[in-house]
Structure 1
């Protein structure tokens, strides 16, 4: 078959090339301490959209740096309590999606919480100086500042905070909270399960935000990773700081977080993916030490993977 990356045998052994900062563990310890010190001030507002089978709410909470984060919360009306919940994350620049997208889970007795990433296409605040959608540039936001100000640091913390809020809802079984998403959503599902290790199961689909230097090496700093090229062109045109830049990006590199996951993992990858190269995804998967399974689609790229949603639901339904 044609290749866009390494042969599969090499992918299964690949360990990534993006540097891991020496103080990586201290960095995330400090970040989590900041998150836990925040009073989330959770607010539930009934939505205009309601169904006979599920109640729908706009859920708001305060994240790090004072941002009010929005999530759609769908709660089955007739489910036993406590019941399982799934936390969903969307693709880059997007939003939590339609209410109807969550009803399949609600029909199976799951509560669903779908987060709007700060600064992207939903209703969450970006407190970095602007209101509204900043569209892209989130990978490089903060690179010229202290590493504690990287925007994806805050977004990763939002995922963990939302999962903790889900676990504290009286109707939810805190031991059966799961995470899922595709592309950026797959990355955030991994980050969520890594930073909130009580997540019982995680199902990432072709995760973004892993092994940035490999993407650069493959000349794939385009599409979703275009901002890496933009950054170098504007701020380091001679690549004099290249090593320092990739090391700083290592703080928000999934491959360095994925070993922290304690729940079961079901991950999906397409071997023809030129948006999030397979090797970058394997870098994160190969470092996972939890119980894990990988579903490989040889002929598919960064697109819908047939059967992946069904497999994810079955995974979450397994005892």
Structure 2
């Protein structure tokens, strides 16, 4: 069934921001703390049975100096510098195997896939530990890990790792640092939305069925995982409700979107019970940069799947031709004025 508002209401749904005091300062401090540690990217080429693709195991220092793993794949014949997609992964997933990520190198792009610390026990294996949680390969529980304090919250570390993934990609000689795109679906979409606000000079962002947007509404209208983790936590910690949402407001995609001038292509499934359509449109309608959205009327959290990938590839073709995928025009020659309180790297 359709689980949210009619489309004509969604297109105009722009709820009031729940922006905590000191939001910008919090993220400036977070990135400053992260950058106290040398990025120290290491790219080790690994042998695969992929004759047309070169693959590198990636290691770099994320939040706290913790080692984050990933893959970098490039066309075997590439001499560079190449445009690059930094790919973020959905909840419970990990970096998996190199052959899971062939779309972009087959299209002539590099792709850096960031493993999600502490995750990878649900649907694709991960190998990056979260030293704060003391584990990797966890299946559930990240949404409430450290949720009583923004400084301790899991997603503070993960979003900072996402920013460092862009920096790691730009450090490789086969990557053109001026042509970096971020991409992700669900939790990966949340990362793409946050990182493209925190790193203002990205070329583009693909933000599909994004998680972690309009979080309080999502927790109130859906019982689907992983938002259900918040409900279970508050069912037992009744007196912590205001404290929990005060933390979550520091990570809400709407607050990043309002500061985000990176051109972006969003997608939404109108039958999505995991990231309800109103939560996606809340971020989309607040997004401050050039934007467009693909609406998949009879789809749920899978969104457009391969059809959305085709939209990405069309957009990538436009980007390489010097055109905007959302306006069709040549890119702006001047940077648009940032909204009040815009984040700085």
Say whether the fold is shared (TM-score over 0.5): yes
1:234 is displaced (CA, Å) by 2.7
Residues of 1 paired with 2:247 and 2:90: CA distance? 23
Alignment deviations for residues 121-157 of structure 1 (CA, whole Å, 9 cap, x no partner): 111120114122232221211123x321111011011
Query: Which residue matches 1:158?
Result: 161
Unaligned runs of 5+ in 2: 121-125, 323-345
**Do the aligned partners of 2:71 and 2:114 also contact (CA within 8 Å) in 1?**
yes
Query: Which residue matches 2:137?
Result: 133
Query: Which residue matches 1:309?
Result: 309
- Tell me how many residue pairs correspond in the alignment: 313
> Please, which moves more after superposition, 251-260 or 7-16?
7-16
1:17 is displaced (CA, Å) by 5.7
Cα-Cα RMSD:
1.7
Query: Quick check: 1:147 aligned with 2:150?
Result: yes
Unaligned runs of 5+ in 1: none
Alignment deviations for residues 42-62 of structure 1 (CA, whole Å, 9 cap, x no partner): 112222325332211110111
1:80 is displaced (CA, Å) by 4.4
**Do the aligned partners of 1:119 and 1:125 also contact (CA within 8 Å) in 2?**
yes
Residues of 2 paired with 1:127 and 1:18: CA distance? 33
Residues of 1 paired with 2:196 and 2:136: CA distance? 28
Aligned with residue 203 of structure 2, among 197, 200, 217: 200
Residues of 2 paired with 1:3 and 1:18: CA distance? 25
Query: Which residue matches 1:124?
Result: 128
**Do the aligned partners of 1:177 and 1:199 also contact (CA within 8 Å) in 2?**
yes
Query: Quick check: 1:209 aligned with 2:212?
Result: yes
Secondary structure of the residue that 1:224 maps to in structure 2?
coil
Query: Which residue matches 1:168?
Result: 171
**Do the aligned partners of 1:213 and 1:246 also contact (CA within 8 Å) in 2?**
yes
1:75 is displaced (CA, Å) by 1.9
Query: Which residue matches 1:67?
Result: 66
**Do the aligned partners of 1:59 and 1:71 also contact (CA within 8 Å) in 2?**
yes
1:108 is displaced (CA, Å) by 2.4
> Please, which moves more after superposition, 14-23 or 220-229?
14-23
Residues of 2 paired with 1:5 and 1:129: CA distance? 35
**Do the aligned partners of 1:197 and 1:260 also contact (CA within 8 Å) in 2?**
no
Query: Which residue matches 2:39?
Result: 40
Residues of 2 paired with 1:189 and 1:66: CA distance? 21
Secondary structure of the residue that 2:258 maps to in structure 1?
helix
Residues of 2 paired with 1:212 and 1:107: CA distance? 36
Residues of 1 paired with 2:28 and 2:202: CA distance? 18
Say if 1:245 and 1:254 are closer, same or farther in 2 by CA, change over 3 A.
same
Query: Which residue matches 1:25?
Result: 24
**Do the aligned partners of 1:179 and 1:193 also contact (CA within 8 Å) in 2?**
yes
Alignment deviations for residues 201-248 of structure 1 (CA, whole Å, 9 cap, x no partner): 111110111111101331x14322121012112322xxx332332121
Query: Which residue matches 1:181?
Result: 184
**Do the aligned partners of 1:82 and 1:172 also contact (CA within 8 Å) in 2?**
yes
Residues of 2 paired with 1:216 and 1:104: CA distance? 34
**Do the aligned partners of 1:198 and 1:262 also contact (CA within 8 Å) in 2?**
no
